[in-house]
Amino acid sequence: MSETTTALPVVVIGAGPAGLAAAAHLVDRGIEPLVLEAGPTAGTAVREWAHVRLFSRWGEVVDPAAEKLLAPTGWVKPAEDTYPSGGDWATRYLQPLADALGDRVRYDARVTGVSRTGRDRIVDADRDAKPFVVHYESTDGREHRVQARAVIDASGTWSTPNPAGGSGLAALGEKAAADRITYRLPDLKDPSVRARYTGRRTAVIGSGASAFTALAYLADLAKADDGQGTRATWILRRGISGSTFGGAEADQLPARGALGLAAKAAVDGGYADAVTGFRTDAFERDGDGRLVLVAEDGRRLDAVDEVIALTGFRPDLSFLDELRLGLDERLQAPVELAPLIDPNQHSCGTVYPHGVKELSHPEQGLYLVGMKSYGRAPTFLALTGYEQVRSVVAAIAGDHDAAERVELVLPETGVCGGAGLFDQPTTDETAEGGCCAPAPQLISLGAHAPAPACGS
């Protein structure tokens, strides 16, 4: 890399937890960052789930380099053993950190493309010596361009939720039913949002922490004085197994384990029916305008008033199209990282802490970090992102020993995280309490929960 190129800033895409931590590490290394944030504030995506409490404590969601940068500002770190909400995280940590970075953060700057100066993805000649060029748009429609010595994409996946359809595509009628579907965890403390679900039947699609939280929220609403008649139908693509409700008491992140227990209590208490082995193929309307979910196998559920689709997220790779990415064909995660996080293969234990080696691409100087680095894989921890950016920034600075060093020990999940293919049949391992899901089936859980009606 030429002396002219090294004088350029490192462009960081996204002013979320991983992006701002990357900027803090760059400053600590004496390298100038430029953070481009599509939203109007730091942590714009985090603020959209401000009402949700993290299952990590404050001590696990503050990056050390960021804390060092904040110290001269008089910032006081919250008690390490308490749990922030998304709103707390954004206002008490992310925004102060962005403020400390000052003009290095540009808001309302949506990145529209990244390439090499004078080189599209086809051209080999002198490619690695050319600086990156980043195009972005401001909210007034003006176009901007900036050069960079390296690019760290920490834009996350929040803007691109997966559809409810079981094939990875939107189910038939899903777009037309958008007025009754949300892909975010609703804030039931908001009176207008609460009214949307009160006294109604809601389908919750998904099997992760967000789905657990939605079931617990709806159960709390059903038990409230104003919530009479509120019910949920929980739709799972898999069957029920010992790992369905997460790690429970075995999870070293106790609040994460508690989410699964809360969901189980909602089901056991009769506030939710569970339908297993159901892959949504279509949304239809009944005579009252309610939604009827139809499975790939033709099963039809009783009509619901609302749908909360919590089926995960996927990365937006469109603005990286002129770069040479090395992505796993299934997960859309870096090829070296994918085997560590692939839910088709993983059973129990943790994801091994990783850094620049697993995050590198054929395009030298480009790194996907944070949730975006996981592609379509679920369950990302802030600690993982902070270790990623520490290693990546060390590599950019030329400190290869630090880049290759592992400085993180992750807590055990206590859960068999997504082992086996979704459609994998029952095996002897399942009978022994192993990690593989049983064959899909239609069941009802809960002491007072009637079985959901299914048509022919």
Bridge partners of residue 239, in order along the sequence: none
**Torsion, CA 22, CA 27, CA 30, CA 34, rounded to 10:** 70
- pLDDT, one tens digit per residue, over 48-75 is 999 999 888 999 999 999 999 999 999 9
Percent of the chain that is helix, strand, coil (3-state, to 5): 30, 20, 50
Bridge partners of residue 274, in order along the sequence: 234
Percent of the chain with pLDDT over 70: 83
The rounded Cα 31 to chain-centroid distance in angstroms is: 29
- For the CA atoms of the chain, what is the radius of gyration? 23
- pLDDT, one tens digit per residue, over 134-190 is 999 999 999 999 999 999 999 999 999 999 999 999 999 999 999 999 999 999 999
In the chain, count of helices (H) and strands (E)?
Answer: 14, 15
- Measured CA to CA, the distance from residue 333 to residue 359 in angstroms comes to 9
Distances (CA, A) of 279 to 160, 288, 301, 393, 429: 20, 24, 12, 42, 24
| Cα torsion angle, 367, 368, 374, 375, sign | negative
The phi and psi torsions of 24 (rounded to 5 degrees) equal -65, -40
Mean pLDDT of the chain: 86
Report pTM.
0.85
The phi and psi torsions of 414 (rounded to 5 degrees) equal 70, 15
> Going edge to edge, which strands form the sheet with 132-138?
109-116, 132-138, 143-148
- Measured CA to CA, the distance from residue 424 to residue 444 in angstroms comes to 22
With 0-12 / 13-18 / 19 or more C-beta atoms within 10 angstroms meaning exposed / middle / buried, residue 225 is: exposed
Tokens of 213: 């939280």
What residue ranges in 119-220 does DSSP mark as E strands? Answer: 132-138, 143-148, 150-153, 181-182, 201-205
Looking at the predicted structure, is the pLDDT value of residue 413 above 80?
no
| Residue 256: predicted pLDDT | 61
| Residue 445: predicted pLDDT | 34
The DSSP call for residue 61 is S
Q: Which of 16, 13, 41 is nearest to 386 (CA)?
A: 16
Place of tokens 């679920």: 378
- pLDDT, one tens digit per residue, over 111-141 is 999 999 999 999 999 999 999 999 999 999 9
Average pLDDT over residues 26-47: 98
Place of tokens 């959901």: 452
- Measured CA to CA, the distance from residue 249 to residue 244 in angstroms comes to 14
Q: Which of 427, 132, 180, 424 is nearest to 307 (CA)?
A: 180
Average pLDDT over residues 266-281: 91
| Residue 407: predicted pLDDT | 83
Strand 132-138 to 109-116 pairing = antiparallel
| Residue 426: predicted pLDDT | 36
Whether 255 and 55 have beta carbons less than 8 Å apart is answered as yes
Distances (CA, A) of 17 to 7, 381, 388, 450: 26, 11, 12, 43
* Confidence band for 260, pLDDT divided at 50, 70 and 90: confident
- pLDDT, one tens digit per residue, over 415-433 is 333 322 333 333 333 333 3
- Measured CA to CA, the distance from residue 380 to residue 153 in angstroms comes to 16
- Measured CA to CA, the distance from residue 23 to residue 30 in angstroms comes to 11
